[in-house]
Structure 1
Amino acid sequence: MFDLGGIYNSQNHYIWTTSRDEADEHGGIKMRQKFPQKVVIWLGVCSKGVTPLVILDQGTVDHVEYIEKVLPIALKYGKDAFGKHWIFQQDGAKLHIHHLTQKWCRDKFPSFIDKDHWPPDSPDLNPLDYCIWDEFAQHVNWEKVTSKPTLIDE
């Protein structure tokens, strides 16, 4: 999720210092809007490359929007890249484990790792959470980002 103030993931961003002053010098305090405009970006990654970006500009995504806008992109890319023999995996996000999402995946993908077989807290299986999103954020010219349309363009 990106917003007008940048990208921030409280699970991945930490500053270790000996004092509050030192933390502030290294960006420890960030002023944020109470209700910032947000854009959710989805991207699939595999050994053959990356899927097209899916930009969900409403800021939050439920299982219905995920099934309608994201999963068909993943399915098409998987078929084009691998044919009939491949496995789709996703993490334990609520919209991923929703029973209708699980049913859609079970019915459409040649194979997928369901919510009961996904290993918890597995950074090795989530490269996007740990490096690629940071790369994206570093290539955004945040001075150009003044509105949701400019955020999407950038």
Structure 2
Amino acid sequence: MVWLGACSKGLTPLIILDKGTVYHQRYINQVLLVALKYDNNVFANEWTLQQDGAKPHTHVATQEWCQNNFSSFIDKDHWPPNSPDINLLDYSIWDEFGQQINWTKVQSKKTLINELKRAVKRIRESAVLGSCQGWTNRLYRLSNNNGNYLK
């Protein structure tokens, strides 16, 4: 499992969670602490954390931790549980990431991890910025579509 954050200023560090199940405490310790550091270094607390509906994200302890540590985040009750149309990573960045991977080099877990690390550095800045610029438009279109999926 991998975690990556995207915003108009670029990408967070890639986090590879390659051993065991990701429960809420592991998510807090290995992912959210990195996101918080990125938040403080890049935005000085002027951004909003958006998560999807994965169990580690919606767990009560995770929600409480986010409330106590981020200047702003969208809690589980205010974000659609399955919202690929308005998640920067789901509708754009993961595709770009996948295109940057040299799949012929992937022969094992170790080579996959090496290739993931290499590929994330090759994600085009224009792809990230374009995804962010399209986000507001997608929100508007989604609201005009009564929250239903976009076609």
Residue 128 (structure 1) aligns with? 89
Q: Identify the structure with the greater strand proportion.
A: 1
Indicate how the Cα distance of structure 1 residues 84 and 140 shifts in structure 2: closer, same or farther if over 3 A, else same: closer
Spell out, residue by residue over 1:72-99, the C-alpha distance to the aligned partner (whole angstroms, 9 max, x if none). Answer: 1111111111113322111111110011
Decide whether aligned partners of structure 1 residues 48 and 144 sit closer, same or farther in structure 2, where only a CA change above 3 A counts: same
1:113 is the counterpart of 2:74: yes
CA gap of 1:126–1:59, structure 2 versus 1, over 3 A, is farther
Percent identity among equivalent residues? Answer: 63
Secondary structure of residue in 2 paired with 1:143: helix
Q: Decide which moves more: 104-113 or 116-125.
A: 116-125
CA distance in 2, matches of 1:85, 1:136: 26
Partner of 2:98: 137
- In the TM superposition, residue 118 of structure 1 has moved relative to its aligned partner by 0.7
Pair 1:65–1:126, CA change in 2 (3 A): same
1:2-151, aligned counterparts within 5 Å?
40-58=1-19, 60-151=21-112
Q: What is the CA–CA distance in structure 2 between the aligned matches of 1:60 and 1:151, rounded to whole Å?
A: 19
Question: In structure 2, how many angstroms separate the alpha carbons of the residues matched to 1:135 and 1:59?
Answer: 27
Could you tell me how far 1:59 is from its partner in structure 2?
6.0
Instruction: Describe the SS at the equivalent of 1:112.
Output: coil
Match of 1:25 in 2: none
Moved over 3 A (4+): none
Q: Deviations over 1:101-150 (max 9, x none)?
A: 11110110011111011124333421211221122222222222111111
Provide structure 2 residue ranges, at least 5 long, that are not aligned to the other structure.
Answer: 116-151
Larger Rg: 1
Unaligned runs of 5+ in 1: 1-39
Task: Please list the CA deviations of residues 45-64 of structure 1 after superposition, one character each: whole Å capped at 9, or x if unmatched.
Answer: 11211111111112642212
Amino acid of the structure 1 residue aligned with 2:76: K
- Measure, in 1, the Cα distance between the counterparts of 2:24 and 2:81: 20
Cα RMSD between the aligned structures?
A: 1.5
Amino acid at match of 1:42: W
CA distance in 1 between partners of 2:16 and 2:82 (Å)? 26
Q: Distance in 2 between matches of 1:119 and 1:136?
A: 24
SS of equivalent residue, structure 2 residue 16: strand
